[in-house]
Structure 1
Amino acid sequence: MRQLVLLALVGLGAQLVDGSLGMAYGVTSTTLLLAIGTSPAAASATVHLAEIGTTLASGIAHWRFGNVDWKVVAKIGIPGAIGAFAGATFLSSLSTETAEPVMSVLLLTLGLYVLFRFTTFGLPRHNLGKPLRKRFLGPLGLIAGFVDSTGGGGWGPVGTPAILASGRLEPRKTIGSIDTSEFLVALVSSLGFLFGLGSQGINFSWVLALLIGGVIAAPIAAWLVRLIPPRVLGSAVGGVIILTNTRTLLRSDWIDASDAVRYPIYAVIYAVWAAALIYSIRQYRANRDQERELVAETHAKA
């Protein structure tokens, strides 16, 4: 019972971050399931089954708050579903010993990208309002869907920063559209896992616990997306993903590092993570103050 409550809280926390940042539900939940001994394919399948409900609830909430661009949802969601099915059937064919470190490397790479991208650059706003083309969203969806299935998460970490980097869609609509289109990815990915695995290794009580937590958090996150600075959340989530998957890799058969090696590495990660958070907060405040000064000057001139 305690484990189910913990999973529900993880689902709630992961969805709060995912719904307000456009990423991290899958990688956060999958990382926890791997840490308690679930096989990689079963962990990813469990998370994606839960995501069918959480992404539906999140999409509805974002739509009600006006955070969804339906053209973007269609252009990226359909290729994403194709990539997700391919990734699910690929991961289902790998052995646990092979898949776990492979998945950890993938998640670690995503974590490094998220931390670097949001800490260093924040959220670009150039080209805002220009249309997003199929030739950009199609391949992006295909790759993000494949990564999402094989990594247990990745739809948001790949899709959200790429669209934000284009500067063509405002942040809240980027996050809302990515979260809404993820419903297609989760649905098709789950079918792929069930096709490849059956129900082997999937604990449906865990699915329900993650689902309950995620559904509760979905409307709150859709509201918070207007209030919480994505730059700071990006740095925070990136650090969590990096730390957790570095730990998994260092303990894997690939490396099997001793305590004398692991703990100094953890210390360095904590230090870099703390510095990234401090920098993100300071940059966010500096940019906010600059915008306020610009608005004040504009009003004064008027």
Structure 2
Amino acid sequence: MGTMGEFKSASQLAAPGIFRQRRMRIWCWTISGLLLLVGLKAVFPDWRFIPDLPGDQLPASFLLLFLSAHLCEYVDSSLGMGYGTTLTPILLLVGYEPLQVVPCILLSELVTGLSAGVMHQRDGNVDFVKDRHARNTAILLSGLSLAGAIGAVVLSVNVSKALLNSIIAAIILSAGLAILASVRRRFRYRPGFILLLGAVAAFNKGVSGGGYGPLTTSGQVVSGLSPKQAVAITSLAESFTCLVGLTGYLLVQGALDPSLALPLTLGGVLSVPMSTWTVRRVSERAMKMGVGCATLLLGMFLLARTL
């Protein structure tokens, strides 16, 4: 009987590891299959068994968009920041229009944020069911998204964008410095500070379309949550922010550009299994260093661009 109990216990312990190995294999086969399909489309464009790409999109452009979204979302789901902040200016620089880019970015972040939240829960980086602080923070940040979007519309007319960007850059820099200065220290949970930074982050998202991750992720760490929890909560909460923004765009604009939406969403979603696995494997101290450095660099970049 004891032997049977020990065997069952060992099997239960091995199950998560087996699941992750299977997930990595599925991820590798999916990525390889997609790359092979796009490659065959480039070499044999008239083969009917290969599905056509949206519009008149070339396989090379589809592949570049897919890989760009894949890399940016891997960083975003691993550190809680960087997807829209990095990918949006890149797409604008190569010639896409803002009204093409922003709603497609929002759709991609909506799908990947929900996926990342589920996978972070599955990998044990956060527990939205049993951890009251994590659950309440996710609900609080999600609720602030709607308030921030409405506030952005009302106040952005009367607030200088340069002044707003300078204030936000200073907040991000301060949060990054606070995280790096306290790598070995754990803060007491303070929901009031999360409320303040969450409102500022949601407002900033509504005004500029970016800057949500650095503020909310760093703010949660400074407020007492672990970096792994903060990254997972930011992914989930930002998906709700993107839902609000995307709904507004669809009501005004009516449609998305499928040649941009498809590769960005595919690239983002397929990066999630690797990013949540990375968060699980990295130590909390290394995560805190990574979040602090990324927050500091993004704050410096925003301040330099504003000045």
Does TM, scored on the shorter chain, surpass 0.5?
Answer: yes
How many Å separate the matches in 1 of 2:80 and 2:207? Answer: 19
Shift in Å, 1:235? 3.3
Say yes or no: does 1:84 pair with 2:149.
yes
The C-alpha deviation readout for 1:157-204, integer Å capped at 9, x for no partner, is: 1111112122x11111111111111111111110122223333xx422
Say yes or no: does 1:163 pair with 2:220.
yes
Match of 1:21 among 79, 83, 87: 79
Aligned to 2:187: 127
Match of 1:181 among 210, 233, 237: 237
How many Å separate the matches in 2 of 1:110 and 1:4? Answer: 34
Say yes or no: does 1:47 pair with 2:108.
no
Match of 2:246 among 190, 201, 205: 190
Say yes or no: does 1:72 pair with 2:137.
yes
**Percent same amino acid among aligned pairs?**
29
Say yes or no: does 1:207 pair with 2:257.
no
**Aligned CA distance change for structure 1 residues 197 and 86 (closer, same or farther; 3 Å):** farther
Match of 1:154 among 211, 220, 239: 211
Q: Which moved more, 1:27-36 or 1:39-48?
A: 39-48
How many Å separate the matches in 1 of 2:154 and 2:98? Answer: 12
Tell me, yes or no, if the aligned pair for 2:227 and 2:287 is still in contact at 8 Å. no
Q: Which moved more, 1:236-245 or 1:181-190?
A: 236-245
**Aligned CA distance change for structure 1 residues 116 and 175 (closer, same or farther; 3 Å):** same
The secondary structure found in structure 1 opposite 2:270 is: helix
Shift in Å, 1:233? 5.8
Task: Give the TM-score, by structure 1 length.
Answer: 0.64
AA in 1 matched with 2:71 = G
Aligned to 1:282: none
Say yes or no: does 1:220 pair with 2:274.
yes
The C-alpha deviation readout for 1:245-302, integer Å capped at 9, x for no partner, is: 968x89xxxxxxxxxxxxxxxxxxxxxxxxxxxxxxxxxxxxxxxxxxxxxxxxxxxx
Tell me, yes or no, if the aligned pair for 1:47 and 1:152 is still in contact at 8 Å. no
Shift in Å, 1:62? 0.9
**Aligned CA distance change for structure 1 residues 138 and 236 (closer, same or farther; 3 Å):** closer
**Aligned CA distance change for structure 1 residues 123 and 176 (closer, same or farther; 3 Å):** farther
AA in 1 matched with 2:143 = I
AA in 1 matched with 2:268 = G
Q: Which moved more, 1:169-178 or 1:114-123?
A: 114-123
Runs of 4 or more consecutive aligned structure 1 residues displaced over 4 Å after TM superposition = 108-117, 236-247
How many Å separate the matches in 2 of 1:207 and 1:90? Answer: 29
Tell me, yes or no, if the aligned pair for 1:15 and 1:218 is still in contact at 8 Å. yes
Larger radius of gyration between Structure 1 and Structure 2: 2
Q: Unmatched 5+ residue regions in structure 1?
A: 95-101, 251-302
How many Å separate the matches in 1 of 2:181 and 2:254? Answer: 41
The secondary structure found in structure 2 opposite 1:225 is: helix
Q: Unmatched 5+ residue regions in structure 2?
A: 1-57, 127-133
How many Å separate the matches in 1 of 2:187 and 2:304? Answer: 37
The secondary structure found in structure 1 opposite 2:186 is: coil
Q: CA RMSD in A?
A: 3.5
The C-alpha deviation readout for 1:192-249, integer Å capped at 9, x for no partner, is: 22223333xx4222111111111111121112124154424653576578669968x8
How many Å separate the matches in 2 of 1:110 and 1:140? Answer: 10
